[in-house]
Amino acid sequence: MSVDEPRRTHFNKEDVRLAATCVASGLLLAVMTGPAGNPESPLEAARLSLFTGHVWGFLLFGIVVAVISVFRRKVRNGEWQSSRAVPRRSMKAYFGDFLASMSTSWWVAFFALAVLLALAIADFTGPYVPGKLSFVQLFTQLHDTRTYGYIGFLWWIINSIRLRRSVHARHGVLPGFMKTPVFRILASAFGGFIFAFCADPWLPERFSFSYFKFGGGSTTAFLSHLPTWLWTACGLLLGVRAVLGERNKTVHANRLRARQFAVSSNTSIALYGIGLFAAFEAPKFLSPFWQEAIFQQIGIFCFLAIGLNIVVGFAGLLDLGYVAFYAIGAYVNAYFSGALPIQPPFILNPFLSIPVAILVAMTAGVLLGLPTLRLRGDYLAIVTLGFGEIVYVLANNLQNLTGGAGGSGVIGNFSINVPLVHLSLNGQALGQDLDFYYLLLAFMIPILILFTSLNNSKVGRSWAAIREDEVAAASLGINGLKYKVMAFAIGASTSGVAGVLSSVKQGILFPSNFALQVSITVLVLVIFGGMGSITGVLIGSAVIGWLLQFLLFHSFIDYQDADKYMYIGALLILTMIFRPQGIWPAKRRAREFHDAEIGLGTADAVGEPAEGPLA
């Protein structure tokens, strides 16, 4: 084959497996979002889930994802390029060049396609109805406010890719006033305002201009909601950050490999916005069973996995007693709520108990870390395991302090009454599961922003150095004990917050809620999602939590809640065999595994040991 001759493209086993996985995932989504199962006639429930118009949209979604995934794989492997003469290009480069070359008439057609796609997304993220995919059902979504949020995000992504790749855009095709800092900041603030309007969980679904008022009922007075102005302020801050970043931008070499699929910061913000919009919007259309599950079984475990990812993923410390900090936060809130046999000097609202729980959990993390973090590997894991068991045994046996195995008393409720904020959440009241979920998001979003910034700071780089080689890090002047104790304390604080939120929702605490299996489950969530990747940890926690609740809800195979650890163990084994880096690994960890596969280094169990292969 000559130098300029293109490589032959054919589908191999990897392509077929990737495409089959995507299509099967679309089919699984159709089943999971279909009607409830019936243990007495599981085949009938499967028929209702599979042989309806509802399933064809998800199958089409799986096919589209399969085509894009296979195409991306071919491009990354260079199979659709000349072997040497033409450099490799990413899928985004192809798509961007196509968008940049489009005429005005094409853009009208593309906008119409974006509207149709937004209608389909709004239809399938809404409540289950028999008439899915019908034209009447699709165009009915134009009456809903959330549909315009999907249209805006889709158009944002398409236009940002076009502007990044278009030659004309680099020479200033936009009007001059649109390039001024004031316009960009005000436009970003207006975008935050529109996001608040489309994703407001308290507004009725139907669009109405009457929502834009200060007075009236709490469900229709959109301008009287505090989240409205908080989202507007977030948009304003993003605009200021973008303007300052443009001024301070320096030209630097792109060190990303050509095989990586990178997106611009503008597109990245749009993708995060879509994820956040879906997180606010989709739960409103779930059944009460799933609304409780997304808080207690998915949301809380996401919260715990984020904290454990600091310890295991960022700093590389194996902690098997992480549930102890979860228990500490819960019992601190129970103590200050007057729910334990020993009475506090004063009663605190759970909102005020959160800072106390954070302080106590961080103190426990520091006290555990100072004497034990000089250990490494399995020895550190054994010590943390013992700490978790000590807390569990104390909670179970100190009946005069914790109530013992019989449980605590009834824990107080969240309540706050200040201007623009009137909140009262009772964990035992039916119908308030969704409010607990939104409260969880209110704590999770700032923590995600803080941890992402922390990982990209000097502290995060120090954690990475300690994780890779602690001896080499110490030789560079990095205080290993200091940063490891910091990781333990920060991870413990997140667990303490999760303990307070969960304790109010449960109402009564039992020591069995903080057994060793909880720590193991959270560790599996981190490994399955991708250690060191915040996005991966969230995806892994949501996937496993949803899957376990789906098996319990549908019960096609007589699944019981006690069987979940068997399924989690099997899933962990499959993950270690087929994708040891996790579903969505961090970029650094993905490079480690790629280098290990081609023999340039090692990544955990991938590659040969330093002393050579076993005889």
Q: What digits encode the pLDDT tens for the residues 151-183?
A: 888 877 777 766 665 544 444 455 666 677 888
pLDDT-derived band of residue 43, with 50, 70 and 90 as boundaries?
A: low
Number of C-beta neighbours around residue 38 at 10 A: 15
Tokens of 96: 């961007």
Percent of the chain with pLDDT over 90: 11
Is the per-residue pLDDT at 68 higher than 90?
Answer: no
Which of the residue ranges 49-63, 306-320, 463-477 would you say has the lowest mean pLDDT? 49-63
Number of H helices, E strands in the chain: 25, 2
Please give the Cα distance from 182 to 184 (Å, whole number). 6
Mean pLDDT of the region 372-394: 86
pLDDT for 358 equals: 93
Report the alpha-carbon distance of residue 309 to residue 164 in Å, rounded: 34
Structural Rg of the chain based on CA atoms: 26
pLDDT of 264 over the 70 cut: no
Using 50, 70 and 90 to split pLDDT, how confident is the model at 478? confident
Spatial distance between the Cα atoms of 37 and 554, rounded to a whole number of angstroms: 4
pLDDT of residue 610: 44
Least confident of 250-259, 304-313, 445-454: 250-259
128: which DSSP letter? Answer: -
Instruction: Give residue-wise pLDDT tens across range 98-151.
Output: 555 555 555 666 777 778 878 877 777 666 666 666 667 777 777 788 888 888
CA–CA dist 543, 537 (Å, integer): 10
Residue 580 pLDDT > 90: no
pLDDT, residue 554, reads 65
Please, what's the largest Cα pairwise distance for the chain? Answer: 84
Confidence of residue 401 (pLDDT cuts 50, 70, 90): confident
pLDDT band at 497 (very low <50, low <70, confident <90, very high): very high
Residue 489 has pLDDT above 80, yes or no: yes
In 456-515, where does DSSP find H-type helix? 458-468, 470-475, 480-506
Q: Which range is least confidently modeled, 153-157, 422-426, 502-506? A: 422-426
pLDDT at residue 601 in the model: 56
**Are the C-beta atoms of 285 and 126 separated by less than 8 Å?**
yes
- 486, pLDDT greater than 70: yes
Domain map of the chain by residue range?
A: 11-89, 92-248+261-285, 288-517
Does position 344 have pLDDT exceeding 60, yes or no?
yes
The most confident of the ranges 14-23, 115-124, 256-265, 395-404 is 395-404
Check: CB of residue 224 under 8 Å from CB of residue 215: yes
Token pair for residue 245?
């970043």
Task: Tell me 314's DSSP state.
Answer: I
Indicate whether 351 pLDDT > 80.
yes
Average pLDDT, the chain: 76
| pLDDT band with cut points at 50, 70 and 90 for residue 261 | very low
Distance of alpha carbon 112 from alpha carbon 535, whole angstroms: 31
- CA 441 to each of CA 138, 445, 577, 589: distance values in angstroms, whole numbers, following the listed order: 29, 6, 34, 28
pLDDT band at 427 (very low <50, low <70, confident <90, very high): low
Confidence of residue 305 (pLDDT cuts 50, 70, 90): very high
What is residue 16's predicted lDDT score, i.e. its pLDDT? 81
Question: Pick the residue with more confidence: 47 or 256?
Answer: 47
Q: Name the pLDDT band for 30 (thresholds 50, 70, 90).
A: low
Does the pLDDT of residue 493 top 80, yes or no?
yes
For residue 137, the number of C-alpha atoms closer than 13 Å in the C-beta half-sphere is 18
Q: For 282-318, where are the alpha helices, taking DSSP H only?
A: 288-293, 300-309
Say what the pLDDT of residue 252 is: 41
For the segment 461-466, the average pLDDT, to the nearest whole number, is 89
Checking if the pLDDT of 268 tops 80, the result is no
Q: What percentage of the chain reaches a pLDDT higher than 70?
A: 71
The residue that leads in pLDDT, 598 or 262, is 598
Q: What is the pLDDT of residues 203-228, one digit of tens each?
A: 777 777 778 777 665 667 788 777 88
